[in-house]
Chains A and B, each alone.
Chain A
Amino acid sequence: DAGITQSPRYKITETGRQVTLMCHQTWSHSYMFWYRQDLGHGLRLIYYSAAADITDKGEVPDGYVVSRSKTENFPLTLESATRSQTSVYFCASRGPSGGPGETQYFGPGTRLLVL
């Protein structure tokens, strides 16, 4: 049971480049999430998705784009990377139905460095 995976695990890019972080879950969970983790801020929600083709903004969405054409995939794109987007990015999913009392599970994270 693979659970939830992220790729790449580490990424170095340059300012202005487009970067896509991948997230894949094998549970068919309805809800998926993207967070960033920064010192002093804990985890902050970037975007979330309630189902395929349904996405919504979180706390810090600026500079990011998401899509969800299939239930199992939820890619996060930085359209033009900036140094302030250097962070650790975590994908998560919640299921099976996505109810608020259900547990949210996290992927291993992607460490992104923007030079």
Chain B
Amino acid sequence: AQSVAQPEDQVNVAEGNPLTVKCTYSVSGNPYLFWYVQYPNRGLQFLLKYITGDNLVKGSYGFEAEFNKSQTSFHLKKPSALVSDSALYFCAVRDRGGGNKLTFGTGTQLKVEL
């Protein structure tokens, strides 16, 4: 069965510093990988996805993620954090063979402080 792990419940970073939100996955074949962000009392918003091709994927709001097949990781990064980036971030994986099910991690709360 496919699974996603987000090892940190919360990440704290100072505004202007780089941020990383970690994600590792487990699937039977090559994965489709996604990052979503959730602001308080809102639905999940799509940030970026990895389907195939370049391992570095660029997405919305200056976020990017690096796919590492050997480490089965898909960490979310941003070179310079903003206070407005504070939110709950979810990594998700869809097994190419499975087709339908999108499995989510438990989420990482990002707090960016002045």
Contact = CB atoms under 8 A, between A and B. Distances in A.
B24 to A, nearest CB: 14
B100 interface: yes
Contacts of B96: 100
Q: How large is the interface on B (under 10, 10 to 19, 20 to 34, 35 or more residues)?
A: 20 to 34
A58 B49 CA distance: 22
A100 B107 contact: no
B51 A101 contact: yes
Given A42-B107, A106-B45, 9 more contacts: A42-B104, A42-B106, A44-B104, A100-B99, A101-B32, A101-B94, A103-B34, A103-B46, A106-B43
30 contacts: A41-B106, A42-B90, A42-B104, A42-B105, A43-B44, A43-B90, A44-B104, A45-B102, A48-B100, A48-B101, A50-B100, A56-B100, A90-B44, A100-B32, A100-B94, A100-B95, A100-B96, A100-B98, A100-B100, A101-B49, A101-B51, A101-B94, A103-B34, A103-B46, A103-B49, A105-B46, A106-B43, A107-B43, A108-B42, A109-B43
